[in-house]
Amino acid sequence: MNLEDRLRGAADAIIEATRHESPQDELKKLYVESDQRAQDPLELLAFDHAMKETQLGPAAYALGVHYVVQDKLDEADYWLRVAAQSDVGDAALRLAQLCELRAVLNFNKSEGPDSALEQLSHSQNLEARYWYTRAAAAGYENGKPELLSVAEQPNEPIDCCDHMEVGSSLLRAGRLVDNAQEEALTIVRRARRDAESFVEDAQEEADQAQVMAREARRDAQAFVDEARAEVESLANQREILALQLAQLRSMLEGLATVVARNETGRSGFGRLSGRLRRGRSRAASRRSVMSADVEFCARIIAGVQDALEMPDDEIPSRDLLARAIASVSPTGRQHDIRHESIRLAESTVGSQRRMSAAWGSVAVAGR
Amino acid sequence: MSADESRRDKSFELFYLKENPRLLRIAYGLTGDVELAKEVAQEVMLTLLVTWGRYDRPEDLLYRLAKQRTQRASRKAPRNSVALDEHIRSAEEALERSNANAMTAASESHQELMRLVSSLPGRQRDVVVLTVITDLPDADASRVLGISVSSVKTHRQRGLESLRKALLTSTGPSGD
């Protein structure tokens, strides 16, 4: 239960708990008492006075405000004082403001510190303070004019004459302006808040877009790198194939030359090439049966193999190579072949490209 | 029906039956004392009955008359100061009530709450009494008090805030 409900409940509960008669009975008693007291003229006068007193406060307040607007400050002071003493609305507050205004006016008009006007101003200041205190006691915020909000101004337009109409119109216009300003400020504040929120959203989306762009760029770069590596790998393979092709071509040319010129020594050729094919490595040289030619040729092959830095099995056209050397060897030009092959073995270390030149030399030696 | 009864105005009767409960609440909110509130309410209704038909909007006068009577009563005898005879009478009544177990803890807390209302600053008390205890709309309260509707709201807010603080002080944090 909230405080408002508690208050209503408390008032009703206590009133009901102390009620001993029905409303009709209470009304009857009221009539009886009224009849009795109405016999006394003084009582009648007191009732009449009480009713008039309830009217006096609001009427005095209206009159006081009326005189303030007409700039008749003495009269305004009097009637506002009557209203304030009758505890009407914010009469105490208006009276305090009026006293303060009159104190300032009198102070400005005074000729010296001891002048009558300045003393009057001082007493009016004291009076203003007193009425501000009364206003504060009635619940007005601190009882200070500068702290009063628009909400604490009177609302009743008093337009009984031209002056009042102008005055109340000005008051109303002032309030309208204040309200409009407040509304405008509210709208501006709301718009600013919306704009800030919009900018924040846009910034967030831009950040997300940047992140996505970075990721896309990274992916594209990775794809390009991969493609480039693949292209390079293909280029290497192509180069190797081109080299191998050149080797083959060169070897075939040399072989063709050898075959064309060497009519004799067929048996020697066949034997040598067979040994070379069977021996396949330098291990074969360890066999004592191997002839000097075979050993020489095997050395050439080993030299070429070392120069190419390739495993034994991968030497291209080893068989053909063996045949080529064997066919050259029985011609009795061993010296030339040895000399040339040693030179080539030394100069082609680490260079695959010289293979074709080597085979060219073999071909020359064969001639 | 007697001649006296026939001259009584039916409109006042209707007014009484309708407005008397509200008047009682107003008077109780202003005084914080249920017996005094009943006296004030009776005086207000008597005044209106005697002057019935002379003033417009008598319902608006209820509050002003009740306040006027309350101020007079408090000037005559300050609140919480009672005559010796009254003391003796209330002591006897309290004894009877205590014997009959009439006074419960709940009613004590209600009375405490109403005492807090009557101790609020004048304008805040007026607004709380009119708009909260008697459930009067803000516009009507503003007309009765001669202040703006915004002022009514401001005073009510401040009054309720003061009451909450006072309740916390008197009963501890679990008081509300």
pLDDT in tens, A166-199: 666 666 677 677 778 888 888 998 899 999 999 9
Question: How much is the average pLDDT of A131-149?
Answer: 63
Distance between CA atoms of B149 and A175, rounded to whole angstroms? 14
Q: How far is B87 from chain A (nearest CA, A)?
A: 18
Name the domain boundary from A144, A169, A192: A144
Question: How much is the average pLDDT of B140-153?
Answer: 81
Window 233-262 of A: residues touching B by CB (8 A cutoff) are none
The predicted complex's ipTM stands at 0.71
Q: B100 is in which domain, residue-wise?
A: 3-175
CB contact under 8 A, A30 and B159: no
Question: Phi/psi at A269 (nearest 5 deg)?
Answer: -60, -50
Per-residue model confidence (pLDDT) at position A256: 65
**Is residue A363 pLDDT above 60, yes or no?**
no
Q: Does residue A206 sit within a domain?
A: no
Q: Strand, coil or helix: what is B77?
A: coil
Spell out which residues of chain A touch residue B67, defining contact as CB-CB under 8 Å. 87
Distance between CA atoms of B175 and B109, rounded to whole angstroms? 10
Which residue in A has a C-alpha nearest to residue B68's C-alpha? A54
Whether residue A237 sits in one domain with residue A362? yes
**Better-predicted residue by pLDDT, A18 or A362:** A18
For residue A168, give the nearest of A155, A181, A177 by alpha carbon: A155
Question: In a mutagenesis test of the A interface, which of B43, B50, B112 is the best target, namely the one with the most A β-carbons within 10 Å?
Answer: B50
**Better-predicted residue by pLDDT, B96 or A2:** A2
Residue type, A308: L
Q: What share of chain A is helix, strand, coil (3-state, %, to 5)?
A: 80, 0, 20
Name the domain boundary from A86, A109, A144: A144
**Is residue B174 pLDDT above 80, yes or no?**
no
Spell out which residues of chain A touch residue B74, defining contact as CB-CB under 8 Å. none
Q: Does residue A322 sit within a domain?
A: yes
Q: Name the least confident of A23-27, A76-80, B44-48.
A: A23-27
CA A262, A264, A268, A270 torsion-angle sign: positive
Question: How much is the average pLDDT of B99-104?
Answer: 53
Window 1-60 of A: residues touching B by CB (8 A cutoff) are 3-4, 6-15, 17-18, 23, 26-27, 30-31, 33-35, 37-38, 44, 47-48, 50-51, 53-55, 57-58
pTM exceeding the 0.80 threshold for the entire prediction: no
Whether residue A234 sits in one domain with residue A140? no
Of the candidates B54, B55, B113, which has its C-beta nearest A7's C-beta?
B113
What confidence tier does A340 reach under pLDDT thresholds 50, 70, 90? Answer: low
Q: A69 is in which domain, residue-wise?
A: 21-144
Q: Does residue A89 sit within a domain?
A: yes
Q: How far is A133 from chain B (nearest CA, A)?
A: 12
Q: Does residue A197 sit within a domain?
A: no
Distance between CA atoms of B81 and B74, rounded to whole angstroms? 9
Name the domain boundary from A94, A117, A144: A144
pLDDT in tens, A269-310: 455 555 555 544 444 444 444 455 556 666 666 666 665 565
Radius of gyration of chain B (CA): 18
**Is residue A324 pLDDT above 60, yes or no?**
no
Number of domains in chain B: 1
Question: How much is the average pLDDT of A342-367?
Answer: 49
Greatest Cα pair distance in chain A:
176
Distance between CA atoms of B152 and B126, rounded to whole angstroms? 9
Per-residue model confidence (pLDDT) at position A231: 95
Spell out which residues of chain B touch residue A131, defining contact as CB-CB under 8 Å. none
Q: Name the least confident of A10-14, A60-64, B16-20.
A: A10-14
Whether residue A358 sits in one domain with residue A229? yes
Per-residue model confidence (pLDDT) at position A207: 94
Number of domains in chain A: 2
Whether residue A133 sits in one domain with residue A238? no
Determine contact, residues B154/A151, Cβ cutoff 8 Å.
yes
CB contact under 8 A, B45 and A30: yes
Which residue in A has a C-alpha nearest to residue B22's C-alpha? A12
Question: How much is the average pLDDT of A227-234?
Answer: 94
Q: Does residue A217 sit within a domain?
A: no
Give the DSSP per-residue string, B134-164.
Answer: S---HHHHHHHHTS-HHHHHHHHHHHHHHHH
Question: In a mutagenesis test of the B interface, which of A30, A48, A86, A176 is the best target, namely the one with the most B β-carbons within 10 Å?
Answer: A30
**Better-predicted residue by pLDDT, B72 or B171:** B72
pLDDT in tens, A96-108: 888 988 888 888 8
Question: In a mutagenesis test of the B interface, which of A15, A29, A48 is the best target, namely the one with the most B β-carbons within 10 Å?
Answer: A15
Determine contact, residues B106/B113, Cβ cutoff 8 Å.
no
CA A295, A296, A297, A302 torsion-angle sign: positive
Q: How far is A192 from chain B (nearest CA, A)?
A: 27
Whether residue A106 sits in one domain with residue A238? no
Does A204 contact chain B (CB < 8 Å)? Answer: no
Q: Does residue A173 sit within a domain?
A: no
Q: What share of chain B is helix, strand, coil (3-state, %, to 5)?
A: 80, 0, 20
What confidence tier does A37 reach under pLDDT thresholds 50, 70, 90? Answer: confident
Of the candidates A33, A51, A149, which has its C-beta nearest B55's C-beta?
A51
Q: Does residue A351 sit within a domain?
A: yes
Whether residue A265 sits in one domain with residue A129? no
